[in-house]
Chain A
Amino acid sequence: MKQRDIELLSAYLDGELEPSDSARLEARLKSDPELASVMNDLRATRALLRKLPQRRAPRNFTLTRKMVGQNPPLPRLYPVFRLATALAMLLFFFSFGLNALAPQLTSSQAPAFGMGGGGEPDTFAAQEAPAEAFPTEAPAEEPSIALAAPSPTAIPTDEAAREVEPPLAKGEAESAVAADQTTSLSETPIIPTSWQIGLILLALCGMIAMIWMRRSAARRWQ
């Protein structure tokens, strides 16, 4: 038997044939016993399959919220708490970092203090010293003048030395003061410890509130 005939018979059984095709097939069935026999077999097979008992589901297959990964609806304030906690934690760690970096920051500022405060007299001294020193070297090149007037050459050198020394002493004193200030600055934290405690307390409170909100939402959800 042709495959096409089997398909026609199968579709005829299911009422899926066009009326014209059905009529043609019915005419053939009357005249073709082999076709009629196959038709009966297919009908019996189909009836057997349809008679197959439908089993009841062994259990309910309903889904739980956990299975589908659904989270309970959280209160509207939850994101505010989350943001506050995150900010508090961030600021807490930032303050730690800032306080840890404080000595380095102040020590890098200290030389700048020395350059600005105590450095000026040095510069002046350096500028003035060569100008004053010229007369001392000049007699060495011209011995006649040096021999004729040895004392004036010595006086300016001493004066220069005297003029140079006091500013240098002043600079040292100022730099010492600056160093003292630096030490005291490095010892003092930029962010006070009380602030840090406040921040960590805020973060902890926020976390506790978030956990409580989640748990109560989950309880309501169930």
Chain B
Amino acid sequence: MNERALIHDAQQGNLDAFNVLVLHYQDSVFNTALRILGDEDLAADVTQEAFLSAFKSISSFRGGSFKAWLMRTVTNACYDELRRQKRRPTTPLEPETDDGEEMDSPRWLADTALTPDQQAEADELEHAIQHCLDNLPLDFKTVVVMADIQGMDYTEVASAMRVPIGTVKSRLARARLRLRECLRGFEELLPASYRLEEGVNT
């Protein structure tokens, strides 16, 4: 796939060329939306919106990493969706205490929602990670999704988020630290080789 030629053709309004790019990147874009939103149906809708928006604004692409540019489009679409949800909330994403305040710790899931049988299932780990991701601030979550789940380098992440590389480094480090704390609550789900060390004060 000659990405540059396809982008050039798409910039001339060639929809077929753009659709080749869509087929190439749709899994990455969908997974990014899925990890940021935590809902498959919403992620599918946002992915479609993101590609539509990308086609309409592809003339603004001035070179560099196309994947980073696409990721910026999809994260913007995710942010829009989250803002929409905030304006019209349906069900709370996080449990509330008796006082009506959101619980700080994500361990509620490990204590209540996951039974030992369910924990044995392969997808439980994925659910646990997703819940830990959902407890991250949005900027942290976006950085971690791009860098660790999509495997983008710091330059691409910085380009996609329009922030300096130093900010990416800082957010990624803090996000990993928070995830590490969160995943301790799901220790029994983790494969032996991924068990986190305990008793370390940070």
Contacts and interface: CB of A to CB of B under 8 A. Distances in A.
Contact of B126 (A7, A37, A53): A53
Contacts of B1: none
A34 B202 CA distance: 9
Contacts of A67: 52
Contacts of B9: none
Binding site secondary structure of chain B? helix
A35 to B, nearest CB: 9
B51 A61 contact: yes
Contact of B202 (A6, A48, A57, A59): A6
A9 interface: yes
A62 B177 CA distance: 38
A148 interface: no
B15 A34 contact: no
A57 B47 contact: yes
Q: On chain B, which size bracket covers the interface?
A: 35 or more
Nearest to A44: B194
B74 to A, nearest CB: 11
A100 B152 CA distance: 75
Contacts of B28: 54
Contacts of A70: 13, 15
Given A34-B200, A46-B176, A50-B149, A59 B51 contact: no
Interface in B21-60: 22-23, 26-31, 34-35, 40, 44, 47-48, 51-52, 55-56
Given A10-B172, A10-B176, A16-B169, A41 B147 contact: no
A49 B23 CA distance: 24
Contact of B179 (A1, A38, A45): A45
Contacts of A46: 148, 176
Given A16-B154, A47-B194, A60-B26, A38 B202 contact: yes
B197 interface: yes
A62 B34 contact: no
A58 B26 CA distance: 10
B110 to A, nearest CB: 15
Contacts of A44: 180, 190, 194-196
Contact of B194 (A48, A53, A54): A48
Contacts of B18: 63
B163 interface: no
Contacts of A61: 22, 26, 29-30, 44, 47-48, 51
Nearest to B173: A10
A142 interface: no
A208 B49 CA distance: 37
B15 A49 contact: no
6 contacts: A3-B174, A41-B196, A57-B44, A61-B30, A63-B15, A70-B13
Interface of B: 13, 15, 18-19, 22-23, 26-31, 34-35, 40, 44, 47-48, 51-52, 55-56, 125-126, 129, 144, 147-149, 151, 153-154, 169-170, 172-174, 176-177, 179-180, 183, 190, 194-197, 200-202
Given A11-B169, A38-B200, A41-B180, 18 more contacts: A1-B202, A3-B170, A7-B169, A7-B173, A9-B173, A16-B153, A16-B169, A34-B201, A40-B196, A42-B173, A44-B180, A44-B196, A54-B31, A56-B27, A58-B44, A61-B26, A63-B18, A65-B15
